[in-house]
Amino acid sequence: MDRKNIVFSTMKLFKDCSKTDLLQSNEIRFLNEAGVDGGGLIRDFYETISKELFDPCVGLFKLAENKISIQPNPESGIVPYDSTLMQFAGILVAKVISCV
């Protein structure tokens, strides 16, 4: 997985996975980084991809009125690949929930 382009590299990896595959535990390896996933890399992966994908500055999501949570941005059509990214965000959230 390419940390510098984590959202699109992960989308590329997930795109051909079946639902069963997506619900399995995965091992994380970042390109050009040595490391064994003993839990730290997977945590780092989810934290990094979440910060990038759900960042209100990206435009796909926006800060809710309560200023604590985020919600889909109705103006996200300005973001390239917005429907694909929104579907991927849903897959990612489902994957995280299945791992808990």
CB burial string 62-90: b at 16+ within 10 A, e below:
beeeeeeeeeebeebeeeeebeebbebbe
- In the chain the domains, ranked by start, together with CATH numbers, are 3-99 (3.90.1750.10)
In this predicted structure, the answer to whether residue 83 has a pLDDT above a threshold of 80 is yes
Give pLDDT, residue 100. 62
Task: Please compute the mean of the pLDDT values over residues 8-29 and round it to a whole number.
Answer: 83
Give pLDDT, residue 80. 75
Residue-averaged pLDDT of the chain: 84
| Pairing state between β 61-63 and 70-72 | antiparallel
CA 84 to chain centre: 12
In this predicted structure, the answer to whether residue 62 has a pLDDT above a threshold of 90 is yes
**30: DSSP letter:** -
Give pLDDT, residue 43. 84
Which residues neighbour 98 within 8 Å (Cβ) at sequence distance 6 or greater? 23
Of 78, 37, 31, 88, the C-alpha closest to 57 is: 78
HSE (side-chain half, CA atoms, 13 Å) at 64: 7
17: enclosing H helix or E strand: none
